[in-house]
Amino acid sequence: MSGLVLSLKADEKFLVNGALVQNGPKRGQIRLPDNSVNVLRLGDCLHPDDVNTPVRRAYYLAQLILSGDTPQASGGIDLLASLSGLGKVFSGTSLESQITKAMTDAARGRYYSVLVTLKRVLPIEQQMLSHGNISAHNIDLQKTG
């Protein structure tokens, strides 16, 4: 059966289709059988001031769609464009498959999966930036937010 299963910490907050929901005092699980439901854990959110790298920008675009702050139609187009730019930058690297996976998930409207994939790329991107392997300006992306 398709859908999403969330394992929640005690008192964890998350958004479901833009509505703030909080788990009770014990750990729990919620199963969302409908793939059209947008879910975003507040612990996975980036603050707009922290959106300062190409991967963070793509992550933030997916976050805005999940939170309901950006319509899926226009946000999805912007996200795919952002991921396409990342695909060019990371072409031939070990991150190419991760970016390709994020692009596939974005094209299918699976924005939470995009976040999960990009979250694994964030520390690697930070290492690359700190070692001068890539420049945050290699991609012509508009900052959103």
Question: What are the helix (H) ranges across 1-145?
Answer: 54-67, 72-89, 96-107, 111-130
Report the mean per-residue pLDDT for the chain.
Answer: 86
The pLDDT tens digits along the chain (145 residues) read 467 788 889 999 988 888 898 999 999 988 888 767 888 889 899 999 999 999 999 999 999 999 999 999 999 999 999 999 999 988 888 889 999 999 999 999 999 899 999 999 999 888 888 887 555 444 333 333 3
Beta carbons within 8 Å of 145's beta carbon, 6+ residues apart:
48, 51, 60, 64
pLDDT number for residue 137:
43
pLDDT number for residue 2:
64
pLDDT number for residue 66:
92
pLDDT number for residue 71:
93
pLDDT number for residue 49:
96
And the tokens for 68?
A: 């309901």
pLDDT number for residue 143:
36
Question: Is 17 in contact with 68 (CB distance < 8 Å)?
Answer: yes
